[in-house]
Amino acid sequence: MSRRSQLFIIAVALTAVFSCQSQQMESSDPSEVEAMVDQEPGSKLARLLAEGQAVFGMFARPQNAEGGRVAAANDETDFIFYSLESGPWDIPTMASFMTAMAEASDEKEPHPVTLRIPPIREDREAALTHISEGIAAGVEGVVFPHVESVQDAELAVSSMGSRLWPSNPSGDLINILLIEDQVGIAAAREIIGTPGVSVAIPGPGDLRRAYEGDMQAVEAAIQTVLAACKEFDVACGITADVDDIAERLAQGFKLIIVNQPEALSVGLEESGRGG
């Protein structure tokens, strides 16, 4: 068979394939096509982030059942930041916090919880266990401290499974990557550009230690992370209080964790979400 004949046969075959695909698309149920295009995140946190709105959280204090009841009494926070980064890995106590919060919320939906786990650089196998146990306990977000590399970021994405937003547009889980070391700042673009990252946060407290109290260097590091988030359309977070929350919102930070409950009112008002 000549080469021209071979090419002709290939062309005919490709034409048949594309014609078949076109017919399948034309005969698709419009509702199925619409569902594929219009997917909404499955949780409040992911939905607010997808809409580009500012999101506000508060630390779990104290981290026990009483703290859960305290959290339930706050109607302004969007989520609770619970940390098991250091100290004993105590999922049962976190579960009691969440149960008490749910019971004290009465008919209201309890606040979602994000869980900060120990740094994955210390033990990747243990990190996978921590992540799965946290998700099984009902957290809606996992916080990864001291992310330093693309490999760390990739694990933070892959370990969350198919429920991760934005990898899954209708996902109900988020990951939050804390970049708080000089090596992480140097790799910020690569880390934040990893597909599947939900939120990135430059951690001011650890950055102060990393830069030995040089506040100009700390702020430059914070702005480096913010710039990368804007470049890759990833929500950027920060900790803030009453005196600087408006400035951080104006700079473009989208997820803010507060120490002072009164900062929530200021943040909601400044972001346009205040009642």
Every domain of the chain and the residues it spans? 3-35, 42-271
pTM of the predicted model, to two decimals?
0.86
pLDDT band at 107 (very low <50, low <70, confident <90, very high): confident
Give 55-104 pLDDT, tens digit per residue.
Answer: 999 999 999 999 999 999 999 999 999 999 999 999 999 999 999 999 99
Give 161-201 pLDDT, tens digit per residue.
Answer: 999 999 999 999 999 999 999 999 999 999 999 999 999 99
Q: What does the buried/exposed string (b/e) look like for 128-162 if buried means 16 or more CB atoms within 10 Å of the residue's CB?
A: eebbebbbeeebbbbbbbbbbbeebbebbbebbee
Pairing of strands 255-258, 113-116: unpaired
CB distance 160 to 139 below 8 Å: no
Q: Specify the fold of 42-271.
A: TIM Barrel (3.20.20)
